[in-house]
Each structure stands twice: as structure tokens, then as C-alpha cells.
Structure 1
Amino acid sequence: MNVETTEKKPRGKRGQGCIYQPKGSRNYWIKFSVNGSTIQQSAETESRREALDKLKAEILKHANGDAVAAGRVTVDDLYSVLLTDYRINQKALWWAELNWNKHLKPLFGGMQAKNVGTDTLSRYIESRRKENAANGSINRELSLLQRAFMLGYESQPRKVARPLRFHRLAESKPRQGFIEQKQYDTLAANCSDLFMRAMLALAYSFGFRKGELLSLKVSDVDLFAGTIRLRDSKNGEPRKVALTEDAKNLLAACVAGKSAEHAVFTRGKGTKPVADFRATWAALCCRAGLGQMICKGCSKPVEHGSKCENCPGRKRLKYRGLLFHDQRRSAA
């Protein structure tokens, strides 16, 4: 009797994965292991051959370190990578945290990174414009988000499949007019807050920007040498300038009793850094006659600290007048 023997086809190596069809599904799924973790995902095809090709491609991606990390990556995860990068490179961490908590988190917090696209960015832009945010502010906020996605894309393994891109909004031309000495003297005379008076002197004399001033630490001020060092300048390069006598005296009062790691500008005798001084600035400009409060209900001027007599109830007031950026006369 003739007995036919058939050779068994060699099986693939263990760990290379497999394909299967779940009950009730027409599409194939792929399954493989990476570093002890099992990954299962749809091959998005009814073809066995295409499913096998998909399996091989995914295994190769993970072998080359090009695959996206397993699990649901949220925008919060990506932004935490950005904050770590800011902390390591000693960038303006407070500014990145402020923009996330105040502007970006309400929309993007908890959202899966893969769901962020053109429609999501458009909704964010529309919501910020309803808050009367300038195009430049929106651009800088979205640039932080873009940087977070880029760091996630460059990490190993990748946290996102592709970087985030957005069309930058058109920004207005740089302001040209600065205040005169007489206007500065009026502001200084009406300024009752020490931190505001010192910030006013530095911004007017040297052209320091708001973010540069708020990030100053006591260790950046050298009263013996009469200099101040900016670590977080706009171009990313530190710079040092010699102080005027007026600025030196004001800074001496600001840093008195503080440790090297404390912020220079704080309210009263506390050590908590000043984060937002818009209300203080608006009140100062109104007292100096360089600004006014406008009722949002009827668009008529209202005395600072008062209610609008033309509108029932308490309508919100908005400030209109000199901006902090406008009062610099030169750039250090």
C-alpha cells in the first residue's frame, strides 16, 4: 500500500504576529507583541494578503522605531513633554503653563492627539477671536501646541504619527509711536504699586518686553555691578544691560528680603510672582489720563471703578488706551 506523506509547511517564527477575523467582522485584524505588550488593531481590509502586508509593515515600523506609541495619547501628554523641555532648557516655563491653563486646555485638554486637525484649530481660533484676542497672541499660543506635537513626533517611540501644522494668521504691523518724557513722568507720578513703578522704568528705559520682565529672578539683578540680566529674551539669547540710577533704586526695593530664586516683581511684601497686571495697568493709565474704561453695553466712557449710568445692572467694562508695550522709548 502506497502511503503519501506531505511535508508540513514551516510556520513563521514566534513573535511575528498573526491575522484573524473576529466573529461578525468582515475585516481582518492583526495581532503582534512589542516589548511584552500585545497590540491588536484592524487591518481595515477584507483581503487576507493585504492584512498580512499590513502586519509585516507594522512589525517593521516598531523594529525601526518609527511606530507611534501604543495607547491613547492625549494633547495633555504631549504638552507635558513640552513643559519638560522648557524646564530642562530653562525657557519661560511660566509662560507655557499660563497659555495652557488659561487658553489651550479648555478646548484641547483631554482630547486625543489624533483628533486634532484643521476643524479643531479653526474652532479654537474662533473662540479666541470672540475674546478679542489679537492674531499675534493666537499665533503664539498655537505655536506652543505645534511645538508639543513636534516633540511627540520626534520622541522614541513616536507619540503621534505626524507633526501639527496650521496657517499663521496675519499680524498687524509693529507699533511705531512711543510716549514722550512728559507722559512717562505722569505715569510715574500716578503709580502707587512698587512692582508697577519698577516695571514701568525698565520698559521705558530699555524696551524690555512684558514676558522678559515677569520672568526675572532676584539672581538676575546685580546691584553691586548695577546690571540686570535677561535670560528669556525674544531671540532666545541672554543679554545684560547697565541700570539707570532710578531703575537701580527701584529694583533694590523690589528684591529686598527675597532669596535668589524668588521673582523680582511681586505684590506687596509677598513672594508670589506677578502673572497678570492688566487691571493695575488700566487703573494707572486712567488716573494719568492716558486711558479710559468703556461700557460694553453702550460703548460710552465710564469713570474707573464706577458703574455705567446708562445701562441697568452691572455691565462689563473694557479698557481702551495706552498699552504697556507702547510706553517703551528704546530697545536694549
Structure 2
Amino acid sequence: MARTVRDANLETRTARARLEQRGKPYFRTLEPGLHLGYRKVAKGAGKWVARHYVGERTYEVETLATADDFSDADGVAILSFRQAQERARERMVQRAHAAAGKTSPLTVKDALEAYLEFLDANRKSGLDARHRAQAFIYPSLGEVEVEALTTSKLEKWLADLPKMPARIRSKAGAEQRYRKLGEDDESKRRRRSTANRTLTVLKAALNRAWRAGKVSSDAAWRRVEPFENVDAARVRYLTVVEAKRLINAAEPDFRALVQGALQTGARYGELVALKVSDFNPDSGTIGIRRSKSGKPRHIVLTDEGAAFFARHVAGRAGDASMFVKSSGGTWGASHQLRPMADACRNGRITPAIGFHGLRHTWASLAVMNGTPLMVVARNLGHADTRMVEKHYGHLAPSYVADAIRAGAPRFGAMSDNVEPLHSSGG
């Protein structure tokens, strides 16, 4: 095994937190022609990158994975300093083999890894796709050659996915825990919907390999149909009374985060990435610099929402995090789970609701109060109204009523003086 390089500035998250943000990564030489770098970003966890010497004083830099700045390393999507070194060396070997023309048959895992690298480099993140690949694709299909895939093999894999119990978040290195497999219709629907999303990830990776000319045909997976009628989820949202109970039951530092979600409809990740300067008191808006889609937007606040943010940021520096814990630390991935569960229990919210349900609450109540669907979509960050219509359209009385009145059939005026038809005697 290659020697693990030590570096006091990069080894721990505490050390990396002291580094200044800059455009150029902090590099450490692993061996001649290979450097491991840490790119410090303005918001969120940093990224590990590898710098490869390709000759003639030229280097190529590629992103490896997210650093374990906030979440524990899992060896796949989130890497420690030691794991990042191993990944960088693996990539160096792979590049050397490719340059020498030494190739092996393309496996499903190879196609997925190439696709995940593309997502990391060109999209906001491939984190969700990476977790799906690790949990649901690699165990059954990872070592299968893409050319050997058949429609029947993929259909069996898809049919087996909903039979797997839902995974419970477990500590890195610990045995994976699972929830009890529910047999009610809603549990089955959710599992099939999850299977469809995983199928989408697999097809995207295989299609990318096919378009690149690495696979002779896409017929095997093109014929695989997803489960039907499984995406019409019943949106869980809070009433105004329930929302007030939840706010009152939350711990003070988490209470501010809950109020921020209810006033904006923003996602958890968007909220915890906010800076004080992202609130504009003149326009009464919150600026989301980068959303799930990768596009910035401005959320328009009500007078009540603007007043809440004005109180919350009063006297604070513009570059300070908008929402912080009582200890002064920042909110990281999944840090909302336990305080949300506690607030639901203490606030008697039955059934309990997840933090993302606060986004549904804002949208549902806005639609029921008559806010046009396009306006709701823009505040939520959707490009059009399709998602809003799908999840909230039934809650808009005026929207439904107008659509029926405009498009339902008409049969003309009918008189009440209609005599019944009588059969003629034989």
C-alpha cells in the first residue's frame, strides 16, 4: 500500500476551516506528477481535486469528491484526507492505463463512475446519484459488463428494488440498519417511486456511455419501463395552527431556521448557506445564490417575512451566516433531523413532518390563499408550473374552477318540457 502523506493544513476539518478561501486549491505533492488539492469554497464543504502532470509543463485538474468538512467520510461521495489520496492514486493509474491503450470491458460501475464525475464537474452535485449507485446499483449490477446487460436482467433488478427495506442513516463503518418493510399502499408507492428514480440514474449513466461510443446498443435498458402511477405523492403540509405550535416547540436556534423555511419555502440547504447580506430590506427579498438547479433566484417575502428577517439580522455583519447554532457552529447536512423530530413531538404534530415539509407548507398555503401557480413556482425556484401543478394544483380552487369552466363540455340550453319515449305496441 502506498504511503499516506501527512499535511497539518489538510488532514483535519478543523485545520481546513482555518484556511482562507481562494480560487487556487491548496495542493500537496503525493508523488512526482501527482498532487492532491483542497479547494476551499465560500459556502458548504470543500472539494478534493487531483492535479496530473501530462507533459510539456501542463497539468490537468479533476474533481475527486467532497471533503469531510461537515459530514463524516463514507469513502464514496465524501472523503477524508487519507481516502482522497487513495482516490487520486487510483485515478493516476486509470489515466496511465488509458494512455497506454490498456482497457478492459466496460462494466456498469465504470459507466456510473464516469457519469458521476460528469455530474460533479458540470452540475451542482452528484451526491444523490452516488448514494443511489452505491446502495442499489453496484451490489447487483456493478460488476456486470454493459454489453452483457439484457432487458430481462434489468427488469428483474428493478422488480427487486421495492422489496428492499428503506435504509436508516448509519454511522460510517457501522452495520447498515433498515426500517421495517411497510405493506400498506402508500409504503409500496414510495418504494416503487424510489426505484424509478434509481432507474433514471442508471439509464442516464448507460446512455452517456452509449452516446460516447463505448457501448454498441442501448436496446437493453431502453425497453425497461418504470413503475406506473407511483409519483402522485400526497403532500404533507401543516395548517397555520400546527405551524405556530411547531415554531413554539422548537429550540431557539432551530426555531429561527423553522421560521425562515415557513416564510420563504426555501430548501434546508439553501437556508443554511445564506449570509446576512442575502436579505435585502429595501426590496423585501432573500437572494438564493445557487439553488438545486444551479440557478440563482430572489424569494419575495411577505411583510411578516421581511420583518422576521430584519429582526434576525439586526446588528450582524453582512458576511456572517444567516442561521447558526446556539454554539456558534454552522448547520450541516442532516443536522436538522433530530431537532425537527423533537419539535414535532413537543409540538404535538401528528403525524410528524420532515423539514422539507415546511417548503410544502409554504407552497400549499400560498396556493390555497389564491397565489397564482406561476408566482409560487418562481419563488420555489422552478422553471415552470409543472411541479407546482402536480403537487399543489388541486389545492387551488380558483385554478381548478377556472379550468373546468373554460374547458368542460357544453350541451346548449335544454328545455324541461321533454316527454319520455314510449316503446310502440306490437
The residue aligned with 1:217 is 273
CA positional deviation for 1:78: 1.8
Please, which of 226, 229, 234 is the counterpart of residue 288 of structure 2? 229
Q: CA deviation at 1:173?
A: 3.0
Q: Deviations over 1:154-185 (max 9, x none)?
A: 22x42564263442222253546632222112
Tell me whether 1:150 sits opposite 2:207 in the alignment: yes
Please tell me the residue identity of whatever aligns with 1:97: R
For 2:323 and 2:127, locate their aligned partners in 1 and report how far apart those are by CA, in whole Å.
14
Corresponding position: 1:95 with 2:128: yes
Match of 1:75 among 79, 89, 108: 108
1:183 corresponds to 2:242: yes
**SS of residue matched to 1:232:** coil
Q: Give distance in 2, aligned partners of 1:266 and 1:74.
A: 45
Alpha-carbon distance between aligned partners in 2 of 1:237 and 1:86, rounded to the nearest angstrom? 16
Provide the rounded CA distance (Å) in 1 between the counterparts of 2:319 and 2:327.
Answer: 12
Task: Indicate which of 183, 189, 194 corresponds to 1:137.
Answer: 194
The reply to whether residue 127 of structure 1 matches residue 164 of structure 2 is yes
Q: CA deviation at 1:148?
A: 1.3
Does 2:334 align with 1:275?
yes
Is residue 322 from structure 1 mapped to residue 353 from structure 2 by the alignment?
yes
Deviation at 1:127, TM superposition (A): 1.6
Aligned to 1:53: none
Number of matched pairs: 231
Counterpart of 1:246 in structure 2 is 308
**TM-fit CA distance, 1:110:** 4.1
**Whole-Å Cα distance in 2 between the matches of residues 150 and 285 of structure 1?**
43
Aligned partner letter, 2:161: Y
Identity among equivalent pairs (%): 16
Three-state SS of the structure 1 residue aligned to 2:225 is coil
Residue of structure 2 in register with 1:309 after alignment: none
1:197/1:95 CA distance change after superposition, 3 Å: farther
Instruction: Quote the RMSD (CA, aligned, Å).
Output: 4.1
Amino acid at match of 1:201: Q
Deviation, 1:189, is 1.3
**Distance of aligned partners of 1:213 and 1:91 in 2 relative to their CA distance in 1, 3 Å threshold:** same
Alpha-carbon distance between aligned partners in 1 of 2:239 and 2:104, rounded to the nearest angstrom:
58
- Residue 290 of structure 1, CA deviation: 0.7
Q: Which has the larger radius of gyration?
A: 1
Secondary structure (helix, strand or coil) at the match of 1:85 reads: helix
Question: Residue 190 of structure 1 contacts residue 284 of structure 1 at CA under 8 Å; is this kept in 2?
Answer: yes
> In structure 2, what residue type is equivalent to 1:162?
D
The reply to whether residue 118 of structure 1 matches residue 194 of structure 2 is no
C-alpha offsets along residues 129-167 of structure 1, whole Å, 9 cap, x if unaligned? 747544333322321222111111122x42564263442
Deviation of 1:288 after TM superposition, in Å, equals 0.7
Higher relative contact order (CA 8 A, sep 6+): 1
Structure 1: unaligned runs, 5 residues or longer = 1-34, 39-69, 292-319
Which residue identity does 1:222 align to in structure 2?
D
**Structure 2: stretches of 5+ with no match in the other structure:** 1-98, 167-180, 367-375, 380-426
Q: Could you tell me how far 1:112 is from its partner in structure 2?
A: 3.7
In the alignment, the residues of structure 2 paired with residue 145 and residue 182 of structure 1 have an alpha-carbon distance, to the nearest angstrom, of 43
